[in-house]
Structure 1
Amino acid sequence: MVSLPPEKSLGYQIRILHRAIDRLLTARLAEHGLKAGYWYYLRVLWLEEGLTQKKLGDLINVKENTTVAMILGMEKDGLIVRKRDAQDRRKMCIQLTKKGRDLEEKLLPVAVEINEILGNGIPARDIDKCLSVLGHMHKNLLKADGL
């Protein structure tokens, strides 16, 4: 019989870390009156606006129906607007409103704080190595899954 105790399982350790990060992020975003799910969309849109709903969902790695639900909520909350693509009128592109754009200045410090908490007491070279390893693991999964 194969044995894989949780403390030796990459998937298990990454999952419990993700859940802990998500709980902290959710609490910090609630202080600003935001739903935690919005974070991932805002984070991408602060870097690149005008994405289609599909492209946005692909970048966040969520299914299209989840993206549609989040976009509807963000639109209702005044964070984004949907506009027709100038080249392909069938496509809807996502633009931040002023309210959505202004959140970047308020919320990026939250990401910095969480990253500082995560890295507390860990040398920068180890953080760099960890980021490299996690990126490599992600590429391995994409290859294995055929994505």
Structure 2
Amino acid sequence: MTDFKTQSAGYLANHMARLFEKGLYRRIEPLGLAPAQFMTLLVLWDQDGITQQTLRLHLDVEQATMANTLKRMERDGLITRRAHKSDKRARLVYLTDKAREMRDGALSAAKAQNKIALGSLSASERAQLVSLMQRVIGQMKTPNAS
């Protein structure tokens, strides 16, 4: 069974993701952020004022997970939710000034985590790894992959 763990892309990707998350958490926790909040902020920093459904699709998370994350972010003063002008069922998610001000510090923390995690790779290896990960993610997002 050990060979499976050392050769399984899924096992290794999951393990690597958990280690990245732990390292990221240590770096963003002083800012008052959790990894799920950081991922949500990454989307909102690029596209403020979108629906919860749009956020959920960007992040590939379940509706309940997204709802819980947004509830915590609203409680922590990172977002506000406002009614959608044309869709009475939808609410738009907006960043607060507090969340906008966290951007540089949070991105620096994430870059530091990436630098440590990928420190043993050359620049070309890092670029290749990221490219391969993007391709695998794209493949798994196709309708027949899940």
* TM > 0.5: yes
Cα deviation for residue 3 of structure 1 reads 9.2
Is 1:33 matched up with 2:32? yes
Q: CA deviation at 1:58?
A: 1.0
| Corresponding residue for residue 91 of structure 1 | 90
CA distance in 2, matches of 1:69, 1:82: 14
1:6–1:72 distance in 2 versus 1, CA, 3 Å: same
Residue matched to 2:126: 127
Deviations 1:32-52 (A, max 9, x none): 222332111111111111110
- Superposed, 1:104-143 pairs within 5 Å as 104-143=103-142
CA contact (8 A) 2:139 2:145 kept: no
Amino acid paired to 1:27? R
> What's 2:54 paired with?
55
Once the two structures are TM-superposed, the CA of residue 101 in structure 1 deviates from its matched residue by 0.8
Q: Which has the higher contact order (CA 8 A, sep 6+)?
A: 2
Q: Which amino acid counterpart does residue 89 of structure 2 have in structure 1?
A: R
Alignment gaps of 5+ in structure 1: none
What secondary structure, in the 3-state scheme, does the structure 2 residue paired with 1:94 have? strand
Moved more, 91-100 or 137-146: 137-146
| Residue pair 2:82, 2:93 contacting (<8 A) in 1 also | yes
Structure 2 unaligned segments of length 5 or more: list them: none
The count of residues paired between Structure 1 and Structure 2 equals 146
CA distance in 1, matches of 2:137, 2:73: 28
Secondary structure, aligned partner of 1:83: strand
**Corresponding residue SS for 2:33:** coil
Q: What displacement does 1:125 show?
A: 1.2
Of all paired residues, the percent bearing the same amino acid is: 25
Q: d(CA) in 1 for partners of 2:2 and 2:117?
A: 29
Q: How does 1:12-27 map to 2 (within 5 A)?
A: 12-27=11-26
Following the alignment from structure 2 to structure 1, what is the Cα–Cα distance between the partners of residues 7 and 143?
21
**Structure 2 length as normaliser, TM-score?**
0.91
Aligned-residue RMSD, C-alpha? 1.9
Structure 2 SS opposite 1:31: helix
Give 3-state SS (helix, strand or coil) of 2:92's partner: strand
